[in-house]
Amino acid sequence: MPDGSPVANYGFDVTPARLVSGLITERGVLEADGPSLAAAFPERAKQTNY
């Protein structure tokens, strides 16, 4: 992108973790913690250290 281009990309947001209380996924609304993610995605939990 050339310097001075009048553009903004708001497609991505970095929200501080302390402000996230839930995650909306294809498997429902989950608590924002490792155990909840592991329970909702057991096939992936085997690959991580939750």
What pLDDT band is residue 33 in, cutting at 50, 70 and 90?
A: very high
Confidence of residue 30 (pLDDT cuts 50, 70, 90): very high
Q: Is the pLDDT of residue 14 over 90?
A: no
Q: Copy the structure tokens of residue 38.
A: 């592991």
Task: Output DSSP code: residue 17.
Answer: G
Helices (H), 1-50: 34-40, 42-45
What is the average pLDDT across 1-29? 86
Evaluate if residue 1 carries a pLDDT over 60.
yes
Region 11-21: mean pLDDT is 87
Residues in the chain: 50
Domain assignments of the chain as residue spans, ordered by start: 24-50
7 near 1, Cβ under 8 Å?
yes
